[in-house]
Structure 1
Amino acid sequence: MAAGNGLIEDYLVALRQGMRGRGDLQDLVDEVADHLYTAAERLEALGTDPREAHARALARFGEPRLVASLLTSTPSKGTVLSLFFARRLPVVAALASLTWALAAVSSFFGLTELSGSWDPQRYLVSAALIGAACLLTALVLVGVNIRAKGRVDPPAVAITGLALFATLAALLLAWVVALWMPVLAAAVTWTCLRARRSHAGSPAFTVALAILAPLLGLASIAVSAYGIATGNGMEAAIWGSVAAFGALLVAGFSDIAFRVVRTLRAAPLVAG
């Protein structure tokens, strides 16, 4: 039995009974379960007793028969994104983490001549991996924003726009780290500030991302400016910027994947 002594499980049973006949019944129950367990975990992190945290989460959500009635009379179109990211965010975060690790390694061979064997093909592979990592980062940021705010609001759209711009810039000009890295860092930092209480990731990693991401973004600008001013290509420093940024996101996204999986596993499926 969960720490809340089955309060949320009982609520989900009552909710299911009030929504029989809907084709998307399980999707709706899963979404409500994820919302309730996330809200309860948030309260527990603030020091609330587990049972009290579950009770408060339920009280804020509403009486199950009323909620069931509202959901039954409302089209499911508004739940598509939240359902997708509630279920897929751990996978996307883990994939983003892996891709950033590959991008950091490949950039050594594709963005520098330090290995002694640079060629255009290696650059294209490195650019493709960096672009893919940026795109997956955009998806992670959308998911974290949805978990934090419950919907795709205007700031989430703006954050996604920044991440997609960084993706395009990285694909076209991966070696110009001063162009895409600060923009992506801004999107990551903005998301962390908005989601600091959403428990998509641990507070320590959220703070680390919020502080270190913009610093690395500024460092990429400084490295590029110094290289232009001195005529030095600064290959090692450019690769170091990508590697450090990638390592930061690998750690942060791995933490998000772990935390969200743990939350979702705490929300057992309710038998029909």
Structure 2
Amino acid sequence: YFEVLQFQRLADNWGEDFRFEKERGSERQSLRLTLNCLDPARLLAERQQALHSLTAFSATLSPPDWTSRALGLGAEAVFRREASPFAASQLEVFLATDVDTRFSQRQQSLPRLAELLLAWLAREPGNCIIYFSSYRYLQDCLALLQAQGLERLRPCLWVQQREQEDAGREQLLQQLETRRDVVALCILGGVFGEGIDLPGERLTSVVIVGVGLPQFNRDTRMLQAWYQQRCGAGFEYACLYPGMQKVDQALGRVIRASEDRGRALLVDSRYGQRQYRELLPPWWNYCA
């Protein structure tokens, strides 16, 4: 009863930015109803109209037009970018553009990717997190890394599980605090890609495999079609900008204080393209 009542309350917000989906379940006479809000900008704008003022701040609010549109901010909103509090020399970012991580090319590029990651771990001391765009991609690469001696190179290996429990999260945080030889394989955009603070020697390098684009499924297609119709930028608003925001957030795990130093490796052929490069934080040093 209460679930139906909650569904009805949500349906009161119905507008052209919602989609109502109906599908048959696996069991006989089973029906699944989904109310999907493609774009919360309208609802956010309605809430903001009741406020005297609103301040939104983050290190990942770019590009301004996408951010303003997604948050439902009006034309009078002022966007301001301040200089980074950190020096560019604190983080060196290397670009490996010879590896194609697109879904259709992943199996062919896995050997080169594994070679690159092992070389990075052999060269870069200290704790390292390697981010992958999907759990399947992580597992495929992990199998190849282990076959080539990853655990001899870095015996302290931690792998994010598909359904990660809180105990596993705390285990990784404890290892990063007490050890200096950890390599962790995590999902880009997940709990370990944002919202964790790892200052000092807890994390000295990250590797980001891919550009963070979402899986191209039915939901992504609906969202892309919506933004294409509304502002003529379907791919950018639904895929490119959210994906590169995940990359920016993961990069931000390394430098958390004025005395921190670290390195990062971005792996994808698309980092050689302007539309991706210009979305990276401008305050770091990038080395091809």
TM range (shorter): under 0.3
- Write 1 or 2 for the structure with the bigger share of helix: 1
Please give the TM-score of this superposition, normalised by the length of structure 1: 0.27
- Write 1 or 2 for the structure with the bigger share of strand: 2
Please give the TM-score of this superposition, normalised by the length of structure 2: 0.26
